[in-house]
A = this chain, B = another copy of it.
Amino acid sequence: MILRVDRLLTELPPPSTPDPAGARIVQELLGGKFGEMSTFMNYTFQSFNFRARQQARPFYDLIANIGAEEYGHIELVSAAINSMLTGASIKEMTESRNSQQFIAGGKSCLPQDSMGKPWNGDYVTATGDLVEDLTHNFFLETGARNNKLKVYESVEHPAARALTGYLLVRGGVHQVAYARAVELLTGADLSKLFPAPRIPTDKIPESKVHLEQGEHAKLYRFSPDDYKELAAVWKGPHPETGDDLVVIDKAPEGFPPVDLPSEPDAFAPDYAPEEIAEIAKKLRTQAGLPEIPTGVVANDTN
């Protein structure tokens, strides 16, 4: 089970110039073969299916815990796409290659790749064989890094750049984590494979800010009380920087999301959103809730 926290893992800029063309490209990081739906679901199913986990606890904890972090990544990619679509005119939406972000999504993301192909369960590899799954995961993160770098190159919108800059650093953590796990289990030395693709991460300005905060060397524990054996795997020097790998024994604090404005021409949340607001207000009052909404958003005007 999970507890959901209504905060984003990194800060995204507020909506600016709409960029449906870019938003369509960013979909690859959400629903593509190497997108965050894939990393999330691969590790989640591997953890569900982990047999004799008690005997191999550090590896179970690693996979389960990284799976939990990946949820935050699908959330983040979605927020970036939605931000990029905010304020787009119908004409801009329609001229975009991804017509369904408007027609099906109401100016929002969808679980599909940059060509509009829906994410599917075939992208999950969960064989139950621990060494094989870890090897797969190392490769999956390599493919994901490739795609993040290319989306970074392709899209200049500030939300996309903030997104990819952050994901490159955190995806790199997972890439290292799976390499370490393979090494500790087999004795193989994968450290020379970094970085893969072989472009130094600190060449990306939007990544560098996170590197400077040491985010590339930290593994957060995304649980109130579980997954306590991460340190048995996440240790030693970072293969690129040599920094000590450290476990942070709690989740990061995160950032409140921007409450994106309504888009009445997409009926999101309604053709006449003020009527929804009216009803909600009344219901809140009836329920004895405070007059000001309890939710915390980045652009709260109260």
Contact = CB atoms under 8 A, between A and B. Distances in A.
A149 B146 CA distance: 31
A280 interface: yes
A67 interface: yes
A121 interface: yes
17 contacts: A3-B5, A3-B68, A4-B64, A24-B99, A49-B105, A50-B269, A51-B262, A51-B273, A54-B293, A56-B280, A108-B128, A127-B146, A135-B138, A184-B283, A188-B192, A197-B270, A232-B284
A144 B251 CA distance: 34
Contacts of A271: 197-199
A129 B269 contact: yes
B105 A127 contact: yes
A292 to B, nearest CB: 9
Interface residues of A, number: 160
B261 A2 contact: no
Contact of A276 (B55, B99, B294): B55
A270 to B, nearest CB: 6
B251 A3 contact: yes
A228 B293 CA distance: 9
A120 B82 CA distance: 21
A128 B267 contact: yes
Contacts of A78: 45, 48-49
Nearest to A225: B5
